[in-house]
Structure 1
């Protein structure tokens, strides 16, 4: 049986209250994988996901790498003989909520205000789980394709054990098409397929100019202090226009997508009058060129600072690397630049925090044709944008490497004002309903192809 777009939409409308109830229950579970004190909540979250999938006729189990790996859920439900096998990915762990005072409502109590449902994980990524669950409920026992579910439990802490899990369960997870529900859409009312993501290199850099602090009046003017030395070194990372000045980093073209100035300012939270840095189109600077930010700085506080030369100072460099580059190559280029530019003979120490590979996806072929058709129908004739993402989802590269024969589709429920990882994370409910329709349509069209 093949369901039409209108038939799927009607079923989603009927199912929506139950799906919202299940989403609310998931949001209430404080599955913060970065907090050891809430490891039990992560376990409870995995168990809840397992029960939801089992209730729809799936065989499901919780798996982990070794004794201390985070719990993931693998589940299966067979489709017709000869039908494509589709792997649906999402993650059930969430980011820390940080200061509750920054939230307009309790972070783990789902709260509907206006067009949005607010709560930690409401969009990233518990709505992704519910999107996959909705497809099960739409089709019941008449699935058009075979389905495998992989719901991870440590995405928000870097997916450290994901490669081991993929290797250990490779045969169970093998699929013709992999749908990763952990990204977003271009705008409210405009769907997207994510086709490129920047990688990440984070490096702590320390400069030392003295063995101990000394009087600034006695030695200032002769001995460089560590703060001014580090500031001078960090300033070499960009040219006067704000382009990254590290030699050897890759950059490439981006899709021809217009990013209006007023929308850019609203979504970025830029202060009034701030000027943009770098050169090239807006989306090139955000998606396909390297970027360097300083996300942390260790030095004495202004309040209570003594009148001495600071002997050592440290900063954290966060470098986003363009698709087409590798983390190893970019790290080597950054460290070489720092060594070559450290001023005044200061002692330089670098420590790698973490790395993640950039991703570029070949968005052609039958699976992508099916996705574009499904999204266009679900959004009432609005075709999806091929979108890049400036942030990093390193685990996508793991899927591409482990299953090179599969078509990988990166989708999601987020929109420009979702505020994932921040206070007041919210899910746009009308857009969520379109996403639910789109995934069920996609499965139908994959079967037809």
Structure 2
């Protein structure tokens, strides 16, 4: 799922002209108009190729040649799909991911040659979606081509009519552009100043409407390209899950390295020093009992520190209070250790699944650490509630603001962790504050 954050970059550039007057001259309008003009010849080519090759392949199915011809038809449609995606990427600024490749079944020997490749093409739903695009795109491309061209040409012709209407009386026997002729001397010409002005006004209206008509037409093309030439929803979901699995693996590996480092540099080093001190105390026990007693007393203090470090480390892995009493008491205990006064409000009808409960706990823990270290806040608030099938978390502080999920920040890593379980992290933190961080997690009861 998407991860949202509010970005406070430079202010958008202000324009003197309103968007309605700018639209006919913007690059987007001319790119989309070019897309529609190029679309018809490409649609004719794709439709002719797809229909002729499929018909030929179907007719030859009584022989062995039909299957290779059908495979060539599907392969050709996939190649034309590459061209269509590139055209949409260049002119419509629509970035459609490449669909899933043709997958060969190579479990048996001898199944990786041309026959296996043709069979994989015929089994591929992506290939048939490319064929469907080639068939459906032609009527739409023809309609959009004619609609855009007629409105665009007539609009600019009418708008510029005052500049060229003099051609008719000077080089022809007509006083102006003839709109119709009934054959009984009732022809209608655009010759008077009023008619010329009305024609120009009509042209202005058409020119102003044309960009929005073109955008509406290309919106249908966007849906066709995204829906038929991109990856299927199942393939997209598989890719998303593979990416999420990688994030989970990397996060687990990082947590193991952190635990190993904390054990090696903290409790383990302290216990090694404690063992050496106790060894020295044992040697001096007979010779200098007072020094030995002092060393044992110091060792007792080291034991307490080591135990505290181990408790903190265990709490960082999974706090016992979370397992025993649930999210509300665990967050209250967490807030009590924060350097900023924190109000905790938890309103849950029941406990969520342990995995979601743990993620929620550590999400709030990291957010409160950010409040303590970076926000310069005077107070903070944690709200947790259940909404339909989502577990909602919100951490608010009155600090200086400016937080975001930019690459490399702690919030970016937290957003990736939430995304790995279909969660969302939304950051609203304008400069000067306040900062509101909202996290959504799936509710697994």
TM-score scaled to structure 2, two decimals?
0.21
- Computing the radius of gyration from Cα coordinates, the structure with the larger value is 2
By relative contact order (CA 8 Å, sep 6+), the higher-ranking structure is: 1
Structure with greater proportional helix content: 2
Structure with greater proportional strand content: 1
